[in-house]
Chains A and B, each alone.
Chain A
């Protein structure tokens, strides 16, 4: 079965706090991609990162960092020194290449509220 679980439905933090959004995935494939997307209140989806299954290096981009651990099938996302503009729903997603083209499977999303 292919599945993405984002156990945290909603998180509320105060500005400047660090926050980690959890993502656990299930797949039988050895080749796959993991993504994080941000959906602000306006509704559009904003691509944040793509990571392939062979690259377990952690990545940092400004205040954002990602921790990919194949041993625990997790791809967690940390925002450092959160800001009000970070308030959004964040989706973790899995893309398999078991078929001819692959389908993107989304988690249910984590709604992050950053309060001033």
Chain B
């Protein structure tokens, strides 16, 4: 079946540094990818929608300059957390689908810890 690979699974970084998270669709072309953030004991919150070749659409309250999203190809989207703060520590999950009627497939998530 369709597989979405997310890398890295865990990352620890220092405050002020940037970290990049990759989301790849392995056996299908993902026209749309979504980035979610999961706070402890809370649901997944959509951060942004990424379409290949165009700018991402961010949800209200999500800082565009802090969470940079690039969807350069039909199989790869990246989320870069810039100038990371301890408050950015969270679990980030990407998802991808081939078309509007296709089910979403999720990556395994990235546990980000900012010290």
Binding site for B on A (CB under 8 A): 35, 37, 42-47, 50, 91, 95, 97, 101-109
Would you call A45 and B43 a contact (CB within 8 A)? no
A–B pairs, 16, beta carbons within 8 Å? A35-B103, A35-B104, A43-B108, A44-B107, A44-B108, A45-B93, A46-B106, A47-B103, A47-B104, A95-B104, A97-B100, A101-B51, A102-B100, A103-B34, A104-B34, A104-B104
A43 to B51, CA, bound (A): 25
How many residue pairs link A and B with beta carbons under 8 A? The number is 47
Chain B residue with Cβ nearest A102? B100
Contacts of A105 in B (CB 8 A): 46
Count B-side interface residues using an 8 Å CB cutoff: 20
CB distance from A92 to the nearest CB of B (A): 10
Chain A residue with Cβ nearest B45? A106
Contacts of B107 in A (CB 8 A): 44
A43 to B91, CA, bound (A): 8
Contacts of A101 in B (CB 8 A): 32, 49, 51, 100
A23 to B85, CA, bound (A): 35
Contacts of A50 in B (CB 8 A): 103
Does B105 touch A at the CB level, under 8 Å?
yes
CB distance from A27 to the nearest CB of B (A): 16
Contacts A50-B103, A97-B100 given; does A43 touch B32 at CB 8 Å:
no
Proximity bits, B28-52, A CB within 8 Å = 1, else 0? 0000101000000011101001010
